[in-house]
């Protein structure tokens, strides 16, 4: 299995229905960092490159998040196929058929010549790999949830896997520079299959049960500002309880910023500087209940960040 040192990027096609109701229930809070390898259901634009002076694909009208379906009528199956078709055109105009949301669109793009060959000035992906944290495991259904937000904006996937990993190093967060966890993706034992990528988390079924004591999922009325705990894995495979403060409750109808948090745990602050990339999904506990999961860090203050309400994760499981 391919190995790569990579940090979590910061992110599924509706496949089997996940039998997990939205009502409060007992769940095992996990807090384990895992490798996530997701295979997208197409070739997607992730960013543009204008180092050659222009980004022809962007100039032609393509946008980040577009799915490139075909080139000159040839259906695309992979990012490598796109690169091959561009090279074979030797600079001739290419007609790209694109899926944007629910619309099919066509764009005529003229590649630019660079030292490394003909290029469209666009980065595309047909798979994503990175690190993330498992939030909960339901021993009754085998369902697990992770991240608390979508991978790369919630792009649809064909399939995916969560694999065992260890945190090998940490880049500490600083004001203006988010930190990150580093580990190996695809190097460890397979823990579960990923079936769903949403704006409120990544979900699937475990192939190996996560052990632990199940606790109630909190209702909104049970969550208060004040002291709470975070389960996180920022060194090796050790999962630690770390002190945090819930500073504010918003319960936004959209997005995943229902709680504002501040890390107060001295050891976590010393090691990571606060919240770092790869910690997305770390469970938040308060008064013996699973409150939600960490989702974002404040760029200007890594000791602070946001979390999603567990109820919002459970609403999109099914």
Residues serving a catalytic function are: 149, 265, 280
Sequence-ordered strand ranges (E) for 3-73: 4-6, 26-29, 33-48, 67-71
Tokens of 312: 């919002």
**For residue 118, what are the contacts with CB-CB under 8 A and spacing of at least 6?**
86, 87, 89, 90, 91, 111, 112
Q: Residue 56 and residue 83: Cα distance in Å, rounded?
A: 14
- CA-angle at 264, arms to 261 and 270, nearest 5°: 120
> What is the distance of C-alpha 2 from the center of its chain?
20
Please list, in sequence order, all residues whose beta carbon lies within 8 angstroms of the beta carbon of residue 16, skipping any fewer than 6 positions away. 195, 205
d(CA 145, CA 206): 10
Q: Would you tell me how many other CB atoms lie within 10 Å of the CB of residue 40? A: 25
d(CA 242, CA 273): 13
- How far apart are alpha carbons 170 and 235 in whole angstroms? 8
DSSP β-bridge partners for residue 10? none
- Cα separation values, 186 from 6, 38, 137, 183, Å: 10, 11, 21, 10
Q: Please give the Cα distance from 131 to 278 (Å, whole number).
A: 5
């Amino acid at each position: 299995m391919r190995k790569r040192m990579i940090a979590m990027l910061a992110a599924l096609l509706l496949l089997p229905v996940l039998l997990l109701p939205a009502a409060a229930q007992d769940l095992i809070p996990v807090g384990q960092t895992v490798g996530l390898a997701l295979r997208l259901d197409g070739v997607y634009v992730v960013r543009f490159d204008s180092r050659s002076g222009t980004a022809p694909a962007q100039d032609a009208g393509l946008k980040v998040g577009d799915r490139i379906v075909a080139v000159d009528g040839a259906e695309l199956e992979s990012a490598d196929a796109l690169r091959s078709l561009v090279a074979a055109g030797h600079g001739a105009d290419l007609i790209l058929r694109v899926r944007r949301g629910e619309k099919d669109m066509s764009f005529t793009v003229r590649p630019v010549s660079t030292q490394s060959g003909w290029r469209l000035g666009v980065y595309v992906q047909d798979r994503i790999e990175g690190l993330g944290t498992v939030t909960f495991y339901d021993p009754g259904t085998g369902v697990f949830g992770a991240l608390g937000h979508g991978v790369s904006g919630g792009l649809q996937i064909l399939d995916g896997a969560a694999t065992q990993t260890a945190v090998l190093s940490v880049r500490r967060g600083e004001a203006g520079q988010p930190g990150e966890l580093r580990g190996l993706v695809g190097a460890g034992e397979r823990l579960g299959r990923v079936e769903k990528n949403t704006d409120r988390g990544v979900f699937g079924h475990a192939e190996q049960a996560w052990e632990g004591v199940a606790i109630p999922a909190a209702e909104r009325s049970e969550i208060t500002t004040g002291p709470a705990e975070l389960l996180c894995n920022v060194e090796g495979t050790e999962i630690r309880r770390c002190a945090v403060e819930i500073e504010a409750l918003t319960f936004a109808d959209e997005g995943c910023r229902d709680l504002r948090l501040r890390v107060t745990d001295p050891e976590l602050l010393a090691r990571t500087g606060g919240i770092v990339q790869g910690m997305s999904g770390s469970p938040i506990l308060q008064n013996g209940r699973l409150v939600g999961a960490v989702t974002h860090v404040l760029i200007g203050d890594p000791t602070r960040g946001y979390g999603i309400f567990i109820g919002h994760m459970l609403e999109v499981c099914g």
